[in-house]
Amino acid sequence: MSHLFEHEGADGKGYSQPDPVAPVDNLQIPSSLVRAKLPRWPRLSEPEMVRHYTWLSTRNFGIDTGFYPLGSCTMKHNPRINEVIAQLPGIADIHPLQPDHQIQGTLAIFHEMQDMLGICAGMDAVTLQPVAGAQGEFTAIRCIQEYFRGRGELGRTKVIVPDSAHGTNPASAAMAGFEIIEIPSREDGRIDLDALRAVVGDDTAAMMITNPSTLGVFEPEIAQAADIVHEAGGQMYYDGANFNAILGRTSPGLMGFDAVHYNLHKTFSQPHGGGGPGSGPIGVKSHLAKFLPGPVVKRRPILAGDQLTSVNKEWWYHWHQPENSIGKVQQWHGNSGAVVRCWAYYRRYGRELKTMSEHAVLNANYLRHKIIEEAEKIGVRHLFADGAPVDVVKHEFTISMAPMKEECGIGAMDIAKGLLDMGYMAPTVYFPLIVPECMMVEPTETESKETLDEFAKKFVEVLQEDPEVLHNAPVTTKVRRVDEVYAARNLTLSYPFDE
Amino acid sequence: MCFATKPTFMLVPRYDSPGDYHMVDQLPNLGREKEMLDAMGMSSIDDLFADIPEAVRMTEELPLPPPQSEEEIISDARRLLGANVALGDRVNFLGAGLNRNYVPASVFQLVTRGEFLTSYTPYQPEVSQGMLQAMWEFQTLISELVGLEVANLSVYDGSTAAAEALTCAVRVHNRKAEQKDTVYVSELVPPSRRSVIHNYTQGGGIEVKTLRHNSDGTLDLNSLSQAAGSCGIYVEQPNPLGILDGGLTRVKEIIGENTAFVVGVAPVSLGVIEAPGNYNADIVVGEGQALGSPITYGGPLYGIFACTKTYLRQMPGRIVGRSIDVDGKEAFCLTLSTREQHIRRHRATSNICTNETLIALMGAMHMSLLGPEGLAKLAQRNMAACQLAKQKLSEISTIAIPHRNNSHFNEFVVELPGSAAECIAYLDTQGLIGGFDLSAWYPERKNWLLVSFSDQTKATEIELLAAHLAVWSTSLVQGVRA
């Protein structure tokens, strides 16, 4: 049975529950609020429910299933110990309104995470509250907004983003009320300093940029860009989506940034879970610290009368409200479960986080090299073009299928679908927008050399495939090419009970 | 230092202690760097970072502890997290919108399947049918639960769901609204949720005005007419004091067609309480946590977002639609993406990208196991515990229950003869997590304690709470008299 809602078992199927603690024949419910008709939910026994979701899982592709080179998403292996730790009652079964003395262990972990993230990015203060990268962007932009309001610089109403930026950058700044100024990238995909100079001014609030860029290329002139923005009185915001490339080798602080968000679900292995939960802490330089959403964790030496536990023999950990806090972006303390998972992840590497980034970059460059090499072996290199004219890339690289599109009508999406038939997840397609027919490939550090070698071969095999076959791909998947236009024109957003 | 046993690491001279090898089980190519660099005609890892200008290079090692093995990490985690007081260690009456419902074991078992856990947003529908269908089913479960046509596959939590609902209401209604860029929010909404609403609405220049409540905690319907002609109102059912407000069924007729009626719900309550869609709510939001998820210190949770078709094209977040593949076979894919940031950029309906899919999946699994009658029973258990507690506590002469004549779900207010903070501290010494000190939300209410009860509350625990409250309040009252 493929549909959940076709399970119409007997009344009360499902898991058995104890009886209520008191009779329910006289529940006080206002007469206007008595539910007239229960939801049309299915009725499944546990074996049926387990089989349904297991069946669904077999129709889904994860990192555990196979190579997942989805650019910009950092689909690295998710260590399982992190899941075990996140289910310990000391995190899964605690409440955000418990007093500090009952949660010293969690606060100690949070404090360590704030410190670690600050160190890695060269920032002075960190909040763990934002629950996703986009929310981190929004939070940091709000802090910058309040910073300028505090200084009476109310005319700073514009945020600059390169045309290669992630869509969340302009969306987050617009949500905070800023006008977006998009600047074109240079022909080679790098930031155009002249274009930047032309738009900065006393109306500039901030520039939002990621480095390495969405082309996977390090912006060598990033410090100059920061100088240009700072000289105009603006702030520099670092989109941490690509942080996996540079950890321990450089930092947003060294590059001149004032604020940064971290994608714990990218760099620090919080599982993506099919679209979330993530976690998007932000770090800021000291001048922005007092605006952070509150509270943040602080510690002080133990005083007489503190309730000591095995955790806090030296320090007392406590929540602290920043002086001019922008308030809350999530009602509690953010995605704490994700923070604890990522604490376990960071502990695995410790000061060797740099090695993680080195291997991410090693793998990306190696794969890029192998694809070019495999293509040259059989003389098909003209079918694709490098997304960026550089000797080395960072954690990801882009390929343009524009030559192939022109020659035989095969676009990036066709190649993507062909790769699905080979048993791979497809790279990101059609992003960044500035590379025509773009495929964005990010292998991550957790793939073996053999996997990369094999993928390079298969990728070139797909390039040589009969165009008709590729237009038809995929054919080996659970369903074949899905008609997205049909879905939008015939909106069926829930089970049609009457059908 | 003993390289003889680990010769491959000699390629990476930085590793100078066996303790540094712990990530060997995470990095498949550790020790194979030279082989891979050779293939590229490079001589060292540094060549890969030659494009980073010297001026911005990090020259020092990261001042962090050395790597740890899995065994050491779990040991540290157990020591640190074991020092916390878990709710299950104590008799617990703390809720305030998060409830410690029982989640069946099969939910935790299934959700860790790697095909779900380690997948990304289903951009390639042909290999993501499992999650897409599960989320389409989730949308259906939520639609049915709240009585509205459309639901998305989650936003971050209940607070951002409320905030997004209000900005959505402005996008839909502002053109015709008499009170432009104006929404109204119940005065009982806690400062933490209100703050999220402020952060989400201030950028659009939206003014958030306040809706008054009567002294019995119900919404003041007489003053509600002032909100007619605004873009939307936000109220909660049950409200933050745990009160089920029958008056909300009259709200829509008062505020009118062109003002969005946004209701924040406790989803479990809808097993006994009418779906807001059936009393003309336009948008229903809520904290989904009680269905499917532990509290986890307040996150990850999942925000419910459902609405009528009027709001469909202005709603935030991802939506799954049913479609067909090229063979005409049923298939699912993300749809209406042109609302979203990756396409619409700064004109998107929201900046949300990553959401709470996996927690929503846990919700769907829990809902599937409950079924309609299971949901009703779960709601009855929650309500019965609350009602029994109200009855027991109302027998204590030294405390009062200010809204006792109202109907409650999950929680109610106890008015104490002294400060709630002191009462909680006393209960803590007796092994009880005694509830929530409402002065944190409403500063003038120093003596209001919010006590919560769920399906996990036992009758004996209610007796225990009553006994301790009686002792504490009696000693306080007698102390004052003396």
Q: Work out how many domains chain B is built from and give that number.
A: 3
CA pair distance A282, A114, nearest whole angstrom: 9
Partner A, chain B 207-236, Cβ-Cβ below 8 Å? none
Picking from A329, A352, A375, the residue at the C-terminal end of a domain is A352
Considering the domain boundaries, does residue A29 fall inside one? no
Are A272 and A321 members of one domain? Answer: yes
Chain A residues whose CB is inside 8 A of the B58 CB are: 248-251, 254
At B120 the pLDDT is 97
Q: Residue B45: name the closest of A391, A359, A364 by CA.
A: A359
Q: Are B321 and A119 in contact (CB under 8 A)?
A: no
Please give the span between the terminal C-alpha atoms of chain B, in angstroms, as a whole number.
74
Structural domain of residue A463, as residue ranges? 354-484
At A15 the pLDDT is 73
Q: How many residues does chain A have?
A: 499
CB spacing of A23 vs B110 below 8 angstroms: no
Q: How many other C-beta atoms can be found within 10 angstroms of the C-beta atom of residue A230? A: 16
Residues 6+ apart with CB under 8 A from B134: A53, A56, B116, B361, B364
Q: Residue B393: name the closest of B420, B414, B363, B368 by CA.
A: B414
Q: Residue B366: name the closest of B115, B134, B160 by CA.
A: B134
Q: Residue A60 is nearest to which of B85, B115, B156, comparing CB atoms?
A: B115
CA pair distance B154, B131, nearest whole angstrom: 13
CB spacing of B40 vs A482 below 8 angstroms: no
Considering the domain boundaries, does residue A58 fall inside one? no
CB spacing of A355 vs B55 below 8 angstroms: no
CA pair distance B406, B402, nearest whole angstrom: 9
Chain A residues whose CB is inside 8 A of the B312 CB are: 491
- Find out whether the peptide bond into A474 is cis, omega within 30 degrees of 0: yes
- Alpha helix positions (H), A217-327: 222-231, 252-255, 286-289
- Find out whether the peptide bond into A212 is cis, omega within 30 degrees of 0: yes
At B482 the pLDDT is 59
Are B415 and B468 members of one domain? Answer: yes
Chain A residues whose CB is inside 8 A of the B383 CB are: 20, 24, 27, 29
Considering the domain boundaries, does residue A2 fall inside one? no
Are A419 and A440 members of one domain? Answer: yes
Give Cα A469 distance to the centre of its chain: 34
Q: Are A164 and A213 in contact (CB under 8 A)?
A: yes
CB-count burial class (<10 Å; 0-12, 13-18, 19+) for A389: exposed
Are B189 and B327 members of one domain? Answer: yes
> What residue type is B131 in one-letter code?
M
Chain A within 8 Å of B345 (Cβ-Cβ)? Answer: yes
- The CATH number assigned to the domain holding A258 equals 3.40.640.10
Give the minimum alpha-carbon distance from B227 to chain A in angstroms, rounded to a whole number: 23
Chain A within 8 Å of B480 (Cβ-Cβ)? Answer: no
Q: Residue A348 is nearest to which of B22, B29, B52, comparing CB atoms?
A: B22
Give Cα A174 distance to the centre of its chain: 20
CB spacing of A445 vs B151 below 8 angstroms: no
Q: Which two tokens stand for residue A324?
A: 């001019």
Q: How many other C-beta atoms can be found within 10 angstroms of the C-beta atom of residue B329? A: 12
CA angle B234, B238, B242 (to 5 degrees): 125
Considering the domain boundaries, does residue A416 fall inside one? yes
Strands B448-452 and B411-415: antiparallel
Q: Output helix, strand, coil percentages for chain A, rounded to the nearest 5.
A: 40, 15, 50
pLDDT at A115 over 70: yes
Chain A within 8 Å of B313 (Cβ-Cβ)? Answer: no
Give the minimum alpha-carbon distance from A47 to chain B in angstroms, rounded to a whole number: 10
Chain B residues whose CB is inside 8 A of the A79 CB are: 26, 70
Are B186 and B285 members of one domain? Answer: yes
CA pair distance A29, A356, nearest whole angstrom: 58
CA pair distance B154, B318, nearest whole angstrom: 8
Chain A within 8 Å of B475 (Cβ-Cβ)? Answer: no
Partner A, chain B 148-187, Cβ-Cβ below 8 Å? 149-151, 153-154, 156-160
Considering the domain boundaries, does residue B68 fall inside one? no
Are A348 and A413 members of one domain? Answer: no
Give Cα B444 distance to the centre of its chain: 27
CB spacing of A90 vs B149 below 8 angstroms: no
- What is the pLDDT of chain A when averaged over all its residues? 95
Structural domain of residue B214, as residue ranges? 105-367
Are B324 and B389 members of one domain? Answer: no
CB spacing of B299 vs A255 below 8 angstroms: no
CB spacing of B40 vs A366 below 8 angstroms: yes
- The string of pLDDT tens digits covering residues B281-329 is 999 999 999 999 999 999 999 999 999 999 999 999 999 999 999 999 9
Considering the domain boundaries, does residue B148 fall inside one? yes
pLDDT at B17 over 50: no
Are A163 and A238 members of one domain? Answer: yes
CB spacing of A13 vs B371 below 8 angstroms: yes
Considering the domain boundaries, does residue B70 fall inside one? no
- The string of pLDDT tens digits covering residues B224-276 is 999 999 999 999 999 999 999 999 999 999 999 999 999 999 999 999 999 99
Task: Please report the DSSP string for B131-148 in residue order.
Answer: HHHHHHHHHHHHHHHHT-
pLDDT at B7 over 70: no
Classify the phi-psi angles of B317: left when phi > 0, otherwise alpha if psi is within -120 to 50, otherwise beta: left
Least confident of A11-25, A216-230, B178-192: A11-25
CA pair distance B32, B20, nearest whole angstrom: 16
Partner A, chain B 405-424, Cβ-Cβ below 8 Å? 407-408, 424
Chain A within 8 Å of B318 (Cβ-Cβ)? Answer: yes
Chain B residues whose CB is inside 8 A of the A190 CB are: none
Give the minimum alpha-carbon distance from B184 to chain A in angstroms, rounded to a whole number: 19
- The CATH number assigned to the domain holding A407 equals 3.90.1150.10
Task: Please report the DSSP string for B265-307 in residue order.
Answer: E-GGGGGTBPPGGGGT-SEEEEE-TTTT---GGG-S--EEEEE
At A187 the pLDDT is 86
Q: Work out how many domains chain A is built from and give that number.
A: 2
Q: Residue A223 is nearest to which of B56, B195, B346, comparing CB atoms?
A: B56
Are B222 and B278 members of one domain? Answer: yes
CA pair distance A40, B413, nearest whole angstrom: 34
Q: Are A360 and A245 in contact (CB under 8 A)?
A: yes
Please give the average per-residue pLDDT across B5-27, as a whole number: 52
> What residue type is B470 in one-letter code?
A
pLDDT tier for residue B13 given thresholds of 50, 70 and 90: very low
- The string of pLDDT tens digits covering residues B145-180 is 999 999 999 999 999 999 999 999 999 999 999 999
CB pairs A-B closer than 8 Å: 703
- The string of pLDDT tens digits covering residues B429-479 is 999 999 999 999 999 999 999 999 999 999 999 999 999 999 999 999 888
Chosen for mutation from A21, A80, A227, A450 (greatest number of chain B CBs closer than 10 Å) is A21
* Full strand arrangement of the beta sheet holding A428-429: A385-386, A397-400, A438-441, A428-429
Chain A within 8 Å of B340 (Cβ-Cβ)? Answer: yes
Are B363 and B379 members of one domain? Answer: no
